[in-house]
Amino acid sequence: MVIHFLIHGRVQGVGFRWFVQREASELELRGWVRNTEDGDVEVVAAGDAGDLDELRASLRRGPRGSRVDRIVEHTLADSEAESLTSFQIDGAW
């Protein structure tokens, strides 16, 4: 299963990408997380439905200092997972 999440709120400048990377890696999910130019955080994650449910709960909670106002979620085609490797932060310095 592959899901695209777009997280709105105070999610940049608070360690959100590193939080997501740690949570997703612990769940052995594949995919990536990155900041958007609009101030949101975008996530694509692939794995078992149960593990994705756990990631969803973590995204709602966020790291200390963050505020998650809304999460927009879309299920992607399984073929989208073919190029995904271990969970990465995209665009980290």
Active site residues per annotation: 17, 35
Q: Calculate the alpha carbon distances from 92 to 15, 16, 18, 89 in Å.
A: 11, 12, 9, 6
Q: Which residues pair with 42 in a beta bridge?
A: 6, 34
**How far from chain centre, in Å, is Cα 48?**
15
